[in-house]
Structure 1
């Protein structure tokens, strides 16, 4: 009995160490920054830059598809479609104008998106997603707004078999969270106080 217990404890320890090691090895990429732009920590986004004369409510925007560089656990083209749907919906819900031909362009890169924990979901009862995004709003070659954001989310703890489309719902929530962060940082802006 004692020998069986030692083997079980040893194997359990090895499995736990492997899981911890896997979580620790998740890449934490630094999003690309547009040239000549210094980003500052944001209230909603991880970092952002805003041109002093940028008035987002007066512009008409072209939303170009964000390129997905690294995708794990989800197809890059599937996430790109889902991401752009959420961004477009949030843009319209906030009363911002969209057009196929305009001089103000939102472009960006999803540097990293992953869905983790699907294999061990029956033990943990949840899955996780990580999203690293950088983007810029430009007009005529001038950067009006630039941003970087990192989002980590988990599904609600629910032991047992996965819910239908659980990973898609979690990815949609991550994309929606980025859109909310971006729009809040853009629209809820007040200039710094004089002398500060």
Structure 2
């Protein structure tokens, strides 16, 4: 099924296009593949990047939108990615990068296109485990900048995945969140306040 890639905020796309059009931004990026790319560079496949801050004691994930990521295509494949972040004045370009998550994201998106159901692709970062997943949201019409994983959603860990978690193996949300809860641990409630001694 085709993926329903959500539209990025226009301002986020404009900041990436402006950075790509600034030779010094590309030249000073730590991305040799971006600097040596032949032909035009095109930002494609905007994905909202959500961060899993914690899992509550009740097993509920606490998630926030951290930015939008664009794959930068040269020819027939992505050579880098560009991240944007929200600021008080709107969206701003953050940085270019390359590495395994770029190729792994492309691979997971191709994998998702073979799924029997349509999905809205997002990214879900788990900083506590240095982990990134492709989050396939079942509600393709949902606001991509908000919401929580749904039981019908799939999470595909990107390579490199943490030890004991297979990369590119789709997981139902409950299955992977259960594993993450054991790894990261649920947020524990604060200890009760001690009453002052009489």
Structure with bigger RCO (C-alpha 8 Å, 6+ apart): 1
Question: What TM bracket, shorter-length normalisation?
Answer: under 0.3
Asked which structure has the greater CA Rg, the reply is 1
Greater strand content: 2
Q: TM-score when scaled to structure 1?
A: 0.27
- The TM-score normalised by the length of structure 2 is 0.27
Instruction: Tell me which protein shows more helix as a share of its residues.
Output: 1
